[in-house]
A and B are shown apart, each in its own frame.
Chain A
């Protein structure tokens, strides 16, 4: 049979394809039926948080920080409850990372504050004296891309059924509604409201002034996102 295949390239290629495609069919397809169910307490990401997630991705924070707490005592001691599949139901793309040059961030919102993040992003050594992380000072002046974050929300709602403007169950039995804007103009207004709450706890005067003037620096969005990781 093999000799015959080596003289018939078409059937050879078909054979190779069948053999390599087999594993994917068996291993990947079944999971699609069940893995995207959110656990209780998982809610869609807000607009400013989405913009912050985009900043996180833009700077490849996931190259050094994971967002996946493994079920080991050492990890739950250090980072909190181990990660559950349903917590990632709205994560597009997933940001688990593959290398921990820095610590895991999946529940960083539980133990770091706005002020800590602000200092850390401006000069990591100011809060972690022997940190090897570089500073990200340009995040204090670059503006967050609210338009793209809004487009992302729209796509998530339309194509993937992410429940914006719908009640989602919380752990205490109540429900929460995460609102999505109806227009770009309204989106900017909503993001600015969120940003004002973050900057109230920040120190950098330029950032405060920018938000007061209606602009949203990247750092504000990023901190909103990091605070949401719980």
Chain B
């Protein structure tokens, strides 16, 4: 048995589940912030084993789901400008305002290439010197440092046909906005492992200190998740709220200062639009002036355009934990993975897609 297997151990999970259910007094409404947690909770079967008293809510932690309609419209506009678009695979099927996606744009002749790393996109630029290559910078603090490092390398190597459409979002400001909502009924936060590996634990302290919400940075295996739930129960029973790092095998309390520093060297915080939520001050990243030559918005002279919200889509309420995916009137009817109306259904890590795909 490898160390990895220990975090899937059924016996350990059963013991943790027993303790959670035995020690829990009343209802526990927890929200996971990260899409990978969402999928893991369903895929591992953890969700089907939780009692009704443990209410599971999925938050705004799927980078595809929170990409604003106007941002989707921007990368589709770029695809129509004969640039080579390099993207992570998740974005291929996200519908734009006119229901077009990168996948349909590609079928109509747009040059779109799925890459596994931003450095693959840089290589694409080197291999196609006569074309402009744009990498779609969508994601949280997890992916931003690698993309920043790619921009630095591009500048060092004098590559002038590479740019990034920077729609990165930052998790702590989004959580701050979320907990400020008086209608929010979340009692504990399962904090993202990957994002925390970069930013550490400090940026989440306000959840416990200002709002009294127990919060745990956790890994993605069933034992990680159940251990975090048990910590919520314990903290509540003991009348305390802390931010606990329970993913110490990957996350150090200080995070990865080198990655953060690269990210801040190339990008700077800016206001950002979140799909279904709206504008959150300081919750995004934009390319710094010194690196303007690598900012696709400036290179192509683009501006975000106002895009009307999709009628009937309740993804915003789902992202805020106010509505369960199957509570949306479109769920499974007008909105399915085959014909997604909202982003929560299109992304593999979206909560609607997870409900649709995994719930028996």
Are A and B co-members of a single complex?
A: no
